[in-house]
Amino acid sequence: DTAVSQTPKYLVTQMGNDKSIKCEQNLGHDTMYWYKQDSKKFLKIMFSYNNKELIINETVPNRFSPKSPDKAHLNLHINSLELGDSAVYFCASSQMGAGELFFGEGSRLTVL
């Protein structure tokens, strides 16, 4: 049973389109995250939600909008996609204070 699951795993789209990535965790954690891994494998945090409240919002273009309908789900919507948005987006979850993050398998976004 997958602990942190993301859909879709692969997404190929044209510049200017709008797309969403969904994430769900069944670990009972109260905190969820979105990380972006670029082509050089560098991982950078984008957002974090704790019990549906935004607690971390790094310097990310406002074309990116996260939404957490409940503490088990965190979605990422991206408007007006650009070439530079091509990356692997990882969702993660943790229990606040526990430190360790559990990662999903990633969603590879390719913008043409």
Partner 1 sequence: AQSVSQHNHHVILSEAASLELGCNYSYGGTVNLFWYVQYPGQHLQLLLKYFSGDPLVKGIKGFEAEFIKSKFSFNLRKPSVQWSDTAEYFCAVNPPGGYNKLIFGAGTRLAVHP
| Least Å from the CB of residue 13 to partner 1 | 21
Nearer to partner 1, 14 or 39 (CB): 39
- Please identify which residue in 21, 89, 90, 111 interacts with partner 1, judged by CB under 8 A: 90
- Please identify which residue in 42, 59, 62, 84 interacts with partner 1, judged by CB under 8 A: 42
Is 98 a binder of partner 1 (CB under 8 A)?
A: yes
Nearer to partner 1, 56 or 72 (CB): 56
Is 63 a binder of partner 1 (CB under 8 A)?
A: no
What are the structure tokens assigned to 104, written together? 């999903």
Identify which range of 20-28, 43-51, 62-70, 71-79 contacts partner 1 by CB under 8 A: 43-51
What are the structure tokens assigned to 3, written together? 């602990």
Alpha carbon dihedral 99, 10, 23, 92, in 10-degree steps, equals 0
SS3 99: coil
| Least Å from the CB of residue 26 to partner 1 | 15
Is 59 a binder of partner 1 (CB under 8 A)?
A: no
What are the structure tokens assigned to 64, written together? 């990116």
- Burial of residue 76 (CB within 10 Å: 0-12, 13-18, 19+) is buried
Name the pairing type of β-strands 10-13 and 4-7: unpaired
